[in-house]
Amino acid sequence: MFKRVMLFIATNLAVLLVLSIVLRLLGVDRILDESGTGINYEALLVLSLVIGFGGSFISLAMSKWLAKRSTGARVITQPQNSAESWLVATVERQAREAGIETPEVAIYDAPDMNAFATGARRNAALVAVSTGLLRGMPKEEVEAVLAHEVSHVANGDMVTLALVQGVVNTFVIFLSRVVGHFVDRVILRNESGYGLGYFGAVIAAQLVLGILASTIVMWVSRQREFRADAGSAKLNGREPMIRALQRLEANVPSQLPKEMQAFGISGGKSAMMKLFLSHPPIAERIEALRQA
C-alpha cells in the first residue's frame, strides 16, 4: 500500500541531497556563476535535469532491493506450504491475464494487513504481502488485493511516479539554487564566489521545496490507486475488492498519532494532510468501484 510510495519518495530525497553535496564538494556549482554576480541559467537547467532525473531513476533502480531490506520480505522461491503455493499460483495467473511476466512473490512479517508492489520494470517486479493480510482476510479478498498490486505493475505505476518525480525534482533543484543565489548575493552581499550562505540556503530550500513538490507525486499516486482498484475489479471482480477495502477500513485505528495521520490509509481530517496522502480515502475508492 502506501509503503511503496513513501519508501520511493524518502529514497529520492536522500539521493538528491547526497548528489547535491557531492557536486558542491566537486565544485560543479561554480559553473552556475558567470561573473560573480549572475547565474548561468542554461547550465543550471542542465544540472537540474541531471540531478533531478538521476535521483529519481536511482531511487527507482533501488526500489525493489530497498523494499526487501526495509520490510524483511522473504521471496518465495520454493513454496513451503499450501498457502505459499496458492499465493504464487494466484500471482502467476493474474500476471498472465494482465499480460506481464510473473513478479517475484514475497511475504513479510507484520501484524497490519498490507501489501505492495515495486520494481523498475513491469517484467521484473516484486509483489509482497504481510502475514497480517494473510491471517486477516479470506482468500477471495487476498486475491483482490493481489490483483490490485499486479495491476500496479501492469500499469507501470512505479515508472510513472519516477518520471513525475524527475520533473518535480528538476524544478526543485533549479529553484533552490536561484534561492541560494539570492540569499548569497542580495541578502549576504557576497560578491566573490559562492559561500556557506549559498550552500546552506540551497540545502534548506531543496528540502522544503522537495516536501512541497511531493504533493504532486502524491496526487499522481492517488489517481493510480483508483486505476489499480479498477484493474483488480477487471481481473478478479468488483465485490471482492470492495469487501477487502471495507475490511481494511474497519481495521484502521480510529486515532492515529498526530505525526502519522497524514500517511494513514484512511487519511487525515484536514485538507492540508490530504495533500500528502499517497492513497485516496477508502470511502472514495469504494464509491469509485461501485460506480464503475
Judge if 60 and 84 occupy the same domain: no
Distance CA 278, CA 40 (A): 36
Of 126, 151, 176, which residue constitutes the final position of a domain?
Answer: 151
Q: State whether 50 and 78 are in the same domain.
A: no
Please tell me the total count of domains within the chain: 2
pLDDT tens for 51-104 read 888 888 888 898 899 889 888 999 999 999 999 999 999 999 999 999 999 999
Question: pTM value?
Answer: 0.80
Catalytic residues, which ones? 149
Let me know whether 210 and 265 are in one domain: yes
Q: Do 125 and 242 fall into the same domain?
A: no
Q: Check which CATH number belongs to the domain holding 126 and give it.
A: 3.30.2010.10
**Whether 124 and 61 share a structural domain:** no
Beta-sheet strands, E only, within the chain: 74-75, 104-108, 115-118, 126-130
Q: Using CA atoms, how far apart are residues 164 and 234, in angstroms rounded to an integer?
A: 26
151, 186, 218: which is the final residue of a domain? 151
- Would you say 94 and 54 are in contact if contact means Cβ atoms under 8 Å apart? no
What range does the domain containing 245 cover? Answer: 2-69+157-291
pLDDT higher than 90, residue 235: yes
Q: Please tell me whether residues 122 and 182 are part of one structural domain.
A: no
Same-domain check for residues 142 and 217: no
* Pair (172, 94) in one structural domain: no
- Shared domain for 24 and 162, answered yes or no, is yes
Whether residue 244 is found in the same domain as residue 277: yes
- Concatenating the DSSP letter of every residue in 104-120 gives EEEEE--SS--EEEE-S
At residue 265 the predicted structure's pLDDT band, cuts being 50, 70 and 90, is very low
Q: Does residue 80 share a domain with residue 63?
A: no
Quick: pLDDT tens for 145-200. 999 999 999 999 989 988 998 989 898 988 888 888 888 877 877 766 667 788 88
Same structural domain for residues 133 and 193? no
The residue from 131, 151, 171 where one domain ends is 151
Identify which of 146, 151, 128, 154 has the alpha carbon closest to the alpha carbon of residue 90: 146
> Would you tell me how many other CB atoms lie within 10 Å of the CB of residue 80?
10
